[in-house]
Homo-oligomer: A and B are copies of this chain.
Amino acid sequence: MAQRPSIPKGTRDFGPQIMVKRNFIFETIRNVFKRYGYQPIETPAMENLTTLLGKYGDEGDKLLFRILNSGDFLSGIDTNAADFQSGNIASSISEKGLRYDLTVPFARFVVQYRNDISFPFKRYQIQPVWRADRPQKGRYREFYQCDADVVGSNSLLNEAELVQIVDDVFGQLKIQTVVKINNRKILAGIASYIGSPDSLTDITIAIDKLDKIGIENVNRELEERGISAKSIQLLQPILFMTGNSREKINALEGLIGTTEIGAKGLEEVKTLFDYLDSMNLNLSYELDLTLARGLNYYTGAIFEVKALNVSIGSVCGGGRYDDLTGIFGLPDVSGVGISFGADRIYDVMSELNLFPEKTSESTFALFVNFGKEEEKYCLPYLRTLRQAGINSEIFPEADKMKKQLRYADQKNIPVVILAGEEEVKNKQFTVKWMQSGEQQTIQAEKLVELLTH
């Protein structure tokens, strides 16, 4: 009869202590989003597979959680058909999947409600997503994304404000970060400049390894990937580029500035850096030509935010996409957005011990229960405390004093209120401050005043 309870691998339960910390992160992000005029939306956990499939590459399709059609899902399906027998039955018995990210459902949302939305549309969305990834440290099958996107505006001020949001969020969370910035048009410009416009992906993958494997190995890899010797040679000054972001931009102008797309990318990055330089940000930001980011819907700016002083890398990322709503039938609506990874941020804050000690989520005062008469005496005061906005409770039964105090202790309740026979007779309370152990006996009508000041 008794089952040993467990949860699916890669998923997690969150108890009260963890929830309080997670909510601190969510609240911080949410408040910043709101401060910048972003409005909340929510979409269903399930989307039609037609909405999800083909948006995240072949690998992404495999990682979708699919939901069995309900009812008699085999009805009308020929289980003897070759397609079924070959094991390729998923598509015939499953029409829905769990969302894989928040960006594609958002694009679907924008297209579906385009007539009700006033553009530019600034929305934020904080919801879980699901991926059938192999679970490992820091990688889960259910995790939250916190996204802010604006669609229907080409202005680079949006990009700059997103970096400002990053600055505000991590400033409030006290996490030191650097924002790596690149632009897909610059990457395309590089590929075009060296005469391999179709090898953009190969080139960025190789560049990305520069720090790890060194220039010689990078060049060998480029060669293996079929990049011509001439192209590799033209790439060398770009790989060896030094200096700060402005110096790199200047140097690039002399190289890829001659390609149309490269020139456009450089112009965009310059405008963005002009904005950022005027904004007095606390975080640092830099052009990073090795930043490519996997999602292939990006067309302009790309961001990645790295936390400093920790092993965990990226805590936030994003970019501009010009054509995401196009796949759902609404072309020419450019968007740009960022996504905060709440779970990564949680891990960083744990590692650096950055969570605030106190939060308002816990109980502040516990009435000890000495028995029916004393309980009756306490209940109206308990109500008064709650009406005064103080989170408080009474132990529900007259259990051993030791057990009740241990409960207060384990729940980190700072104030315990006692009313035994004596206090009831004198209309008093004895208030015990758990941390110091101090206690004082006061007249009952002074209780609220004492606890609110």
Contact = CB atoms under 8 A, between A and B. Distances in A.
Given A157-B375, A375-B157, A394-B157, A41 B68 contact: no
7 smallest CB-CB distances across A and B, nearest first, come from A37-B393, A2-B329, A11-B44, A16-B39, A70-B132, A155-B396, A118-B410
A94 interface: yes
A47 B7 contact: yes
A155 B393 contact: no
Contacts of A389: 35
Interface residues of A, number: 111
A440 B74 CA distance: 69
Interface string A50-89: 1100000000001101111011111100010000110101
A118 B407 contact: yes
A85 B141 CA distance: 31
Contacts of A98: 45, 67
A72 B87 CA distance: 8
Interface stretch (A104-112, A256-264, A287-295): A104-112
A35 B154 contact: no
Contact of A39 (B8, B19, B155, B326): B19
Interface stretch (A120-128, A205-213, A238-246, A346-354): A120-128
A428 interface: no
A37 B329 contact: no
Given A44-B12, A329-B2, A90 B68 contact: yes
Copies in the complex: 2
Interface in A106-162: 108-109, 111-113, 116-118, 120, 122-123, 128, 130, 132, 141-142, 150, 153-155, 157-158, 161
Given A153-B396, A410-B118, A45 B128 contact: yes
Contact of A46 (B142, B161, B327): B142
B142 A379 contact: no
Interface in A22-40: 23, 34-37, 39-40
A48 interface: yes
A54 to B, nearest CB: 10
25 contacts: A5-B108, A6-B48, A6-B112, A7-B51, A8-B95, A11-B46, A13-B41, A13-B43, A14-B42, A14-B43, A19-B41, A36-B391, A40-B361, A45-B98, A45-B142, A46-B65, A62-B71, A67-B98, A68-B68, A71-B132, A73-B90, A120-B407, A157-B375, A168-B386, A279-B383
Contacts of A155: 396-397
Contacts of A50: 3
A326 to B, nearest CB: 8
A94 B68 contact: yes
A278 interface: yes
A433 interface: no
A94 B16 CA distance: 31
A11 B39 CA distance: 21
A232 B99 CA distance: 54
Contacts of A4: 329
Contacts of A63: 70
A376 interface: yes
A13 B44 contact: yes
A27 to B, nearest CB: 11
Given A15-B113, A40-B19, A396-B155, A68 B66 contact: yes
Contacts of A370: none
